[in-house]
Each structure stands twice: as structure tokens, then as C-alpha cells.
Amino acid sequence: MKTADLREKLAANVAEMRSIHDKNESGALDTKERDRFAQLEVECRNLQAAIEHSGYLAEIEKYVEAGGKVHPIETEVRNGRYSVAKAITEQRAGRLTGIEAEAHQELSAGRETRGVMVPTSIFLGGENRALTTAAPVAGPGGNLVATNLAAMTDRRRPALRIEALGATVLPGLTGDLDLPRMQASGAAGWVAEHVAATRTDPQFSKTSMTPRTVTAEYEVSRRMLLQSSTALEPILRADLAFLLAAALDRAAIKGGGTNEPTGIMANSDVTELTAAAFSSALTADLIGALALDDVTGTRAFLTHPAVTNIARKKLDADGHVIPMAELFHGERVETSTQVPYFTGSPAVDPALIYGEWASLYLGYWSGVDLLMNPYHSDVSSKGGALIHAFLDADVVVRHPEGFVWAEVTG
């Protein structure tokens, strides 16, 4: 069963369990309903495991296809045996143990590190905020120290789409990497008998990848460290990891090239079509631009949700809604608020990107380097610490002809 089908089945089961649970609160649950709830609970656990395994297999298959090897440490991470909070606590004490020590030793081999190296599979995604035990008005950490701590709910986050669309991932890089390619072939021609061939030369070019550093930082109070070790784990995994991942995702879309990578939309070799109102003609022009360049790999659209909102309101001559599949000519469409707007007068125009996403390369030179710093002047006198996270990565468009984009004016 496909991952999407598994998720749909899980959502249906959860909805049914909610309905049964609401009846239970009113005291109207019978034996049959109790049995059904228990059955659904088992099914949900199995579906969750299947979804996790499916995602893991997809990632590993992609990694192996790129020439990598499945490392046993990654298996430990996937099985939930790696603890970010434990790694940070032990790094602060100066002695790592267990799987955290093994991962650090493997990831830091031949590299200079200032803290503890954490596998990028945990932290794939700077924002600064202080975590304290005070009331939320003084710091968001106040919601994390309590006599009874309920499960923490996450904040709303933009969807990260670049890797999911099929970007080529190169893990475990060391030195700078050149990606050569044949830019143009020679020519063949017909000749008369005993006449020399016309000599032509192929043309080659290369794209270079070099590590660039993305970082995020938290300030954690002394009491937060003492009282909320269990709450730190989901924060570090979800929020700090997301900051790094989101920064890399944004850079892949439109990184400006100063300190950060040069993204698709900022690449001068990527074609930009004339801005236009959204229509099936615009999407056809984007598809046609790649077809004219003989781009035949798996392709998809990436855009801002505002564009699909426009698309959902498109009507035909009879006033009927035009199906999205027709407007995008059957091509896959993904949305994210990471896709930028262009501010004009009076309109604000989002972008619409169409591409062969395997032509976008993401390279990783390290795991995530986590450094617990209790000596900074901002925290040393208060007994707290700063948690710094560093990731060395780069994004390049190896084949610029594999992408095209346009502003959508309405």
C-alpha cells in the first residue's frame, strides 16, 4: 500500500475513534463499540509503523541509488535509540556514551567540531529565542515546566517540499565537489565519398558545491535544564531541526548567493517567463519551455498556496469549476509558503516554479554540530546555557535548463 493510502486510512481510523470516544464521554458506549475502539487502536499502531517504515525505505533507497551505504547508526536513529537531549547533556559534562558517542565519533572523523555531532536524519531541516521557566510573556519555555506536563503541541509551520519533490541528496561530503556535465555535443553530417568529416568539439561545463553554514541558537535557563530534560527532546528535534531545514529549503528555492546557496529563482541560467495571470496557458508555457529543452525526467510544479487558491476558483464558460488536473495538465503540484512573493503595485505576486527536481543537488558536509555553551556573558552569570546548532550544506542547480518559473499576477 502506498504511503498516501496508509495516511488516508490512518486518518479515517482516527476520525472513527474520535466518534467512539465522544460517545464514551456521554456514557453511551456499548461492548461492540468498545471492541471496535480497541481494534482501531491496534490498526492505528500498525499503520503508524507502516508509514514510518515506508518513509525510511524510500529515504534509504534514494541514498543507496546515489551511491551511499546504509550505516548501522542510522538504523539506531530510526529505531528511536538516539537522544538529542542526552547528547547535549553529556557533551556539557564532557563525556559522551552509547549510540550518541558512536554517532559523534563517526560524523566528526577528520573534521573539527566544537560540540556534539548529531545525525542529519534527525536535524534536516538563525532564529533566536530564550527558553525559561517563567510565564510565557517572559519566555516560551514557561509552558514546559509543570507538575503534570501534557504533550506539547507544535506551532504552524510551512511545508518543506524540496527533498520530497525528488532533489538529489549527496550526504557525507568532505572536500569541495565539482559536478561536470556535457553542455553541448558536436555535430554529425553527411559527406561525399572519400571526403573528410567535419570536425566539431563537444562543450563541457561544471557546477561546484562548497560547504555553507546555516545556524540557529537557543538560550536555555538553568532551571529549564534542571526541570525539563524530557521536554527538551521534542523541542530540539522538532523546532531547532525545523529552523535549519526551513533555511535550507528556502535557499534551494531562492537563495541569494551571499553566504547562502544560490537557489533556483536566483540562478541567472534558469529561465524566467514573462509574468502573467494564472491560467492553463501559463502552465502549458512552463511545461513547454522544458519540453523544448528536451527535459524528460520526472517533473512537478511548486508554488505558493495562493496560486492553487486562484486555480480552485477558475470557472469554464458555463460557470463550472475547472478541475485542477486540467489547469496543471495532469502534472504533480506541491505548495509551500516558503515559495516567495513579489511585491508590486498594487498587486502582490507569488511565484510558480516548474522543474525536473532531480537536477537540484543538495550536499551535506556534516551532521548537525550541537554546542552547549554555558560560558557566554549572556548566560554565565545566570547559570543557563546557549545551544548552538550548525549545519554545513550547499544547494546547486546542476542542470539550469531543468527549471523554469514565472510570477503569477492574479
Rounded Cα–Cα distance for residues 154 and 344 (Å) = 33
Residue 373, phi-psi category: left (phi > 0), alpha (psi -120 to 50), beta (remainder) = beta
5 DSSP assignment: H
Backbone angles phi, psi at 356, to 5 degrees: -95, 95
Let me know if 351 is exposed, middle or buried by CB neighbors in 10 A (0-12, 13-18, 19+). buried
List C-alpha distances in Å: 9 to 32, 318, 399: 21, 36, 38
pTM of the model: 0.66
List C-alpha distances in Å: 388 to 146, 246, 247, 373: 26, 16, 15, 8
Q: What is the pLDDT of residue 403?
A: 96
Q: Residue 169 pairs with which residues in a beta bridge? A: 362
**Residue 369 contacts residue 116 (beta carbons within 8 Å):** yes
Sign of torsion over alpha carbons 78, 83, 87, 88:
positive
Q: What is the pLDDT of residue 216?
A: 87
Rounded Cα–Cα distance for residues 405 and 290 (Å) = 11
Q: pLDDT by residue for the chain (410 residues), tens digit each?
A: 677 778 778 888 888 887 777 776 555 667 787 778 888 888 887 887 777 777 666 666 655 655 555 556 666 666 667 777 777 777 777 788 888 888 888 777 766 666 778 777 666 543 344 545 454 444 444 554 444 445 455 566 677 888 889 898 888 888 888 888 777 777 888 888 888 888 777 777 788 899 999 998 888 888 777 765 556 666 666 677 788 888 999 999 999 988 999 999 999 999 999 999 999 999 999 999 999 988 888 899 999 999 999 999 999 999 999 999 999 999 999 999 999 887 655 557 899 999 999 999 999 987 788 888 888 888 888 888 888 888 899 999 999 999 999 999 87
